[in-house]
Amino acid sequence: MLEALTTLIPEGIPVAVGLAALAGAVLITGIAKSGFGGGVGILAVPLVAVALDAQLAVGVMLPILLAADLVAVAQHRRDRSAPHLRWALIGGVLGIAVGTTLLGYFTIQEAAPPIATAADPGSINSAAALAPATASAAAGQSLATALNLTVGGVCLLLVGLQLYRMFGGRVPRIPRHRAAGITAGGLAGFVSTLAHAAGPVMTVYILDQGLDKRRIVGTLVLYFFVINWFKVPTFLALGFITPHTLSVSGLLILLVPLGSLLGLWLNRVIPEKPFTLVMYAGAGLAGVWLVVKGLR
């Protein structure tokens, strides 16, 4: 099975580097899902993308996220805020529906057959054939760029405001209201469907609701547990998850318990205020990465 994994690593990337990136991604996922580091879990997807093609990376990561979710839910099953969870899940389902529609559209466009010209039905006019695919790819790239810059920028702004407040500044809080929860959950569900990158959005929202750290973690892990399962039919239908990707996921999943135990231990030994600072730092790093990715 390990040999099958190494054959997926593109040429030009040392096998040791690829395997280290994959292992690091799974450990980060386990740590983040167990409640330490907040949005830093977003860094797992680009780490996998170092070793695998982007579409493979997204498909490989979803079963790993589900496995980490199961461990995290078991660890924090008694701690959650029911109102925040209910509001966020309503928005999350709506966000997944929008994200699924966009993914389906771009996948269909890329798979569309070339168009033959009327003058010569047996031949293909290259400009006409490439135009739809080129336009679709350009639209998809523009969407990804806008998404990265918007989510990353908003995340950095919110993290900056909250840190300013923590050190004595006066900033209005995100309201403890249904509309705020649905909005945050919807944006998270949309972003998660496209790139597994919703951690910073929900982390910043939940951190600003005045919950203790156990309920912060419990609410986050249960939200993503439900949302990730809602994404499975979409990823299967679009071919992101295949027997091939599942074999890779199955090998990497073996590292999830180690990361989960490490994250749970860190969550228990770090006091409340340093814990919050680490969560914000993780969300901030993820925001920086999204902005840099969007600018590139």
pLDDT tens column, 57-89: 778 889 998 988 888 888 788 888 999 999 999
Cα–Cα distance between 141 and 100 in angstroms, integer?
16
Kindly report, residue by residue over 39-55, the tens digit of the pLDDT. Answer: 566 667 667 766 776 66
N residues, the chain: 296
Mean pLDDT of 163-172: 70
Asked whether the beta carbons of 203 and 220 are under 8 A apart, the reply is yes
What was the pLDDT predicted at 35? 67
116 DSSP β-pair partners: 124
What was the pLDDT predicted at 227? 93
Cα–Cα distance between 178 and 192 in angstroms, integer?
21
Supply the mean pLDDT for the chain. Answer: 76
Is residue 163 scored above 80 in pLDDT?
Answer: no
Q: Give the 3-state secondary structure percentages of the chain, helix then strand then coil, rounded to 5.
A: 80, 0, 20
Is residue 260 scored above 90 in pLDDT?
Answer: no
Is residue 137 scored above 60 in pLDDT?
Answer: no
Which residue has 């006409």 as its token pair?
128
Is residue 136 scored above 60 in pLDDT?
Answer: no
Tokens of 25: 């991604």
Tokens of 149: 């810059």
pTM score of the predicted model: 0.71
Mean pLDDT of 83-107: 89
Cα–Cα distance between 290 and 145 in angstroms, integer?
9
What was the pLDDT predicted at 294? 75
Kindly report, residue by residue over 227-249, the tens digit of the pLDDT. Answer: 999 999 988 988 889 888 888 88
What was the pLDDT predicted at 57? 73
Is residue 130 scored above 50 in pLDDT?
Answer: no
Q: How confident is the model at residue 129 (pLDDT cuts 50, 70, 90)?
A: very low
